[in-house]
């Protein structure tokens, strides 16, 4: 956990961000970054008020990464694609659609209708790109009809 640390050097106060960790049962400083004097920190903060803020979005990635890794080890997508008829529809393959559905279901997506909204807000939206919507009909076109 990071914290602020005040150091007095030759009578002047300087501020550092420091990270502490227990090493062999004892707290040790493992990282530090010089921030400057209080005046310099205030100057930087005031100077940044008119600058645009960067917006970040966080994603749950652990479960998705684990499921993608398992799928890759099992060659799930390749096996499903090998045993299904191919249709000339651009986008995800049958195996990719089924894997997407499985990952979505593990993340509480109750039906294929909710898959698109979940996908847009998941880490998979960064990893997988395709030209069509994830509608229920597209899902059925890719997964059900090729099997018959």
- How far is it, in rounded angstroms, from Cα 148 to Cα 142? 11
Same domain, 37 and 89: no
Q: Which two tokens stand for residue 146?
A: 């090729």
Same domain, 141 and 71: yes
What percentage of the chain carries pLDDT values higher than 90? 28
Tell whether pTM > 0.75: no
Q: Which domain holds residue 29?
A: 2-47
Same domain, 14 and 82: no
pLDDT range class, residue 123, cuts 50, 70, 90: confident
pLDDT for 89 beyond 90: no
Per residue in 15-51, pLDDT (tens digit) is: 999 998 888 889 888 899 999 999 999 998 888 878 7
Q: Which two tokens stand for residue 46?
A: 């005031």
Buried b (16+ CB within 10 A) or exposed e, 122-148: bbbeeeeeeeeebeeebbebbbeebee
SS3 133: coil
Same domain, 70 and 134: yes
Number of domains forming the structure of the chain: 2
């Amino acid at each position: 956990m990071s914290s602020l640390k005040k150091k007095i050097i030759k009578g002047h106060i300087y501020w550092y961000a420091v990270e502490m960790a227990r090493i062999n049962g004892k707290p040790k400083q493992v990282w530090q970054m010089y921030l400057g004097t209080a005046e310099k920190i205030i100057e930087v903060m005031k100077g940044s008020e008119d600058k645009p803020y960067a917006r970040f979005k966080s994603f749950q990635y652990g479960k998705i990464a684990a499921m993608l890794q398992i799928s890759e080890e099992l060659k799930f997508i390749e096996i499903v694609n090998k045993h299904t008829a191919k249709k000339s529809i651009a986008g995800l393959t049958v195996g990719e659609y089924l894997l997407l559905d499985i990952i979505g279901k593990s993340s509480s997506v109750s039906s294929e209708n909710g898959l698109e909204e979940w996908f847009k807000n998941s880490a998979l939206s960064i990893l997988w790109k395709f030209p069509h919507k994830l509608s229920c009909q597209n899902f059925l076109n890719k997964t059900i009809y090729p099997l018959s």
